[in-house]
Structure 1
Amino acid sequence: MTGPRSARSGFSLVELIVILALSTIVMGGLTSVLVRQQRFYRGTADLIETRSQIRQAAGIIPSDLRGVSTAGGDIIAISDTSMLFRATIGQALACAPVPLANRIDIPPLTLANKNTLASFSMTPGLGDTVFVYHDGATEAAGDDVWVPYGITGAPTMSSVSCGDLIGSADLTTPRYSFPLASPLRADVTPGTPLRFVRRTRYTLFTASDGAWYLGYCSPDCAGSTPQPIAGPFLSGAGGTAGVAFTFRKADGAITAIPDSVAEVSIVVRGRTRGIVDMGGYKNTQVGDSLRFSVAIRNRK
């Protein structure tokens, strides 16, 4: 005699098919959400990086141009994607000059009383120039001049007297002495203002990866590869270069003569490296740009 059959655990074939179908739909939806999120974050990061590099270029160039003097011949060569000029890298006051010596000495960079009589963004050296202020014989400003002296080597440590510029606590503190190509004029006195400059070129160039960057080189780019400081940007071809310079005279007219420049207008243009699919952008590279101007304060 056969007893009753026990109920078997598990799913029927129909139930399995339904579960698999629902799981596929759910997993497909989750995958789609994850892919969209990944694209969003990747596009956001790419766009932020592009705008960050544009702002970086816009922050670097004006800081060097504000101290430029066309009256002193600081702007050397200009083009629509490049500019060669003398950038200020330091300022100081002179110590007591040594008669007929081809050198200039400055106070210590750090003083006991916390005053600052010498400051540098980069230590001057061979190929740089120091402008020495010479006060004319009259009270009028017309006979006052800044005289350039070429620096012929790296600075050495000096113990030349700085007179009343520094206190007794700093008499033995090491200070820089810069070798010069010619002796100082006799009218240089302790406390004479000094301005140290370096030839600097900013240019749009192609790097080894094929992208275009804002490059820096000193004293010039001849025979050397610029150092990329911001980018990548748009290419240098056509009228939409990634970094474009426009030079204007005091009346607003465009000029190609360095000594007549009164204002420098710069446009920086960038584009995301990858495709952006977010917000109002649909599967496209996103471009951005920034225009700014720098007025030359010490101009003719």
Structure 2
Amino acid sequence: MMPHTRSRRRGGTLVELLISMVILGVLGTLVARIMMDQQRAFQRMTEQTVVRRELRSAMSLLPTELRGVSSVGGDITAFDNMSISFRASLGSSVVCARTATTVDLPPVGAARMALTSWASLPNVGDAVMLLRPDSSGQKGDFWSTHTVTNVSVLAAPCVGTVYVHPIADLLKTGLRLTVTPTLPDSVLAGSALRLVRPTRYALTQVASGRWYLGRSEFVGGAWTAAIPVSGPYQPASASGTGGLSVALYDTLGVSITTLANAPKAARLDVVLRGRGRSSSRVAGSSITAIEDTIAVRVALRNRR
């Protein structure tokens, strides 16, 4: 009978164990490094998407308001390399009745026809422009400009006129605007009316220290606090290289640098330079901010 021998299985040595731990540590470090780099890359891509989204948001807003500016009509009230103030259109209506110093307006949502529309209700200090049938010596349409001194609500406005329905509009309210100076005789019932308000776009710094494009309005004799509409952007700079730069040009492409020549403006160039959060592309590389730029040229329509 053959003797039974038990096989002895040899275990790992301490050296082999240490080598295995070192290899696993190196592999773990490499995997962690790759995951961290991927996370950083994803964060930068996300931040870049946010910066571009904010730039597109600003460029969908600014041209809409600036395109209707009448340079020859004095709508541009102030500008420099990093801000612009102008009279922005806030609504329109028609005159259904008038006196020497007041105009009555049809209600919003009148049953027969929608003649009144406001982005913001009229306020004291706003300007109203009334279309005059006579040219008053002007070439083309002529708008008579007046300042609103009082706004009152009218119950059942424009009664007996073609602008309202005698039953469907009976419970609707309209507005009566008191204006100065006195209305010319050529402003009649049916004259078109535009409401405009001084508006300013400029970079404003918030509590976090970052810069945003701010919009403010001149209401009640003072500028309202700027409301951030998009951002963040690069810090403001008077040299025109900051987050917002504005430039005006005449029909020949000559730069306009003084307000006295603003009525000659035919084109307005706006450049926005967005800036996102600072981060690095990969571990150990330098930390940089996400930046992008967008530019738009606005041809001013109302130049007559």
Is residue 274 of structure 2 the alignment partner of residue 270 of structure 1?
Answer: yes
Task: Tell me the CA shift for residue 224 of structure 1.
Answer: 5.8
Instruction: Judge which range, 10-19 or 153-162, deviates more.
Output: 10-19
**Structure 2 counterpart of 1:108:** 107
Work out the CA distance in 1 between the residues paired with 2:209 and 2:225. 14
Q: Is the 8 A contact 2:110 2:169 kept in 1?
A: no
Task: Give the residue type in structure 2 aligned to 1:291.
Answer: A
Q: Is the 8 A contact 2:218 2:224 kept in 1?
A: no
State the Cα deviation string for residues 89-145 of structure 1 (Å, max 9, x = none): 001122122x34x332222211335x421111111212211111111189x973752
**Structure 1 counterpart of 2:46:** 45
Task: Tell me the CA shift for residue 242 of structure 1.
Answer: 1.3
Task: Tell me the CA shift for residue 261 of structure 1.
Answer: 1.3
Q: Is the 8 A contact 1:83 1:203 kept in 2?
A: yes
Q: What's the TM-score once normalised by structure 2's chain length?
A: 0.83
Q: Are residues 271 and 169 of structure 1, via their aligned partners in 2, closer, same or farther at CA, if it must alter by over 3 Å?
A: same
**Structure 2 counterpart of 1:178:** 176
Give ranges in structure 2 of 5+ residues lacking alignment: none
SS in 2 for 1:245: strand
**Structure 1 counterpart of 2:297:** 293
**Structure 2 counterpart of 1:68:** 69
SS in 1 for 2:40: helix
SS in 2 for 1:219: strand
Q: Is the 8 A contact 1:106 1:175 kept in 2?
A: no
Q: Is the 8 A contact 1:165 1:190 kept in 2?
A: no
**Structure 1 counterpart of 2:89:** 88
**Structure 1 counterpart of 2:33:** 32
Work out the CA distance in 1 between the residues paired with 2:167 and 2:186. 28
- Trace 1:74-153 onto structure 2 (pairs within 5 A): 74-97=75-98, 99-100=99-100, 102-112=101-111, 115-136=113-134, 142=139, 144-153=141-150
State the Cα deviation string for residues 197-232 of structure 1 (Å, max 9, x = none): 010011123333332222211118977642222222
Q: What's the TM-score once normalised by structure 1's chain length?
A: 0.84
**Structure 1 counterpart of 2:255:** 254
Q: Is the 8 A contact 1:248 1:261 kept in 2?
A: yes
Q: Is the 8 A contact 2:158 2:164 kept in 1?
A: no
Q: Are residues 146 and 224 of structure 1, via their aligned partners in 2, closer, same or farther at CA, if it must alter by over 3 Å?
A: closer
- Trace 1:162-201 onto structure 2 (pairs within 5 A): 163-182=161-180, 183-201=182-200
Instruction: Judge which range, 13-22 or 187-196, deviates more.
Output: 13-22
Q: Aligned Cα RMSD in Å?
A: 3.2
Work out the CA distance in 2 between the residues paired with 1:111 and 1:245. 40
Work out the CA distance in 2 between the residues paired with 1:293 and 1:178. 38
Task: Tell me the CA shift for residue 22 of structure 1.
Answer: 4.5
**Structure 2 counterpart of 1:159:** 156
Task: Tell me the CA shift for residue 286 of structure 1.
Answer: 3.6
Q: Is the 8 A contact 1:131 1:149 kept in 2?
A: yes
Task: Tell me the CA shift for residue 71 of structure 1.
Answer: 2.7
State the identity %.
28
Q: Are residues 241 and 131 of structure 1, via their aligned partners in 2, closer, same or farther at CA, if it must alter by over 3 Å?
A: same
Q: Are residues 224 and 105 of structure 1, via their aligned partners in 2, closer, same or farther at CA, if it must alter by over 3 Å?
A: closer
State the Cα deviation string for residues 61-91 of structure 1 (Å, max 9, x = none): 1111111112321111121111111000001
Task: Give the residue type in structure 2 aligned to 1:77.
Answer: A
Q: Are residues 20 and 84 of structure 1, via their aligned partners in 2, closer, same or farther at CA, if it must alter by over 3 Å?
A: same
Work out the CA distance in 2 between the residues paired with 1:265 and 1:144. 27
Instruction: Judge which range, 85-94 or 252-261, deviates more.
Output: 252-261
Q: Is the 8 A contact 2:271 2:295 kept in 1?
A: yes
> How many residues are treated as equivalent by the alignment?
292
Instruction: Judge which range, 176-185 or 240-249, deviates more.
Output: 176-185
Give ranges in structure 1 of 5+ residues lacking alignment: none
Work out the CA distance in 2 between the residues paired with 1:33 and 1:252. 52
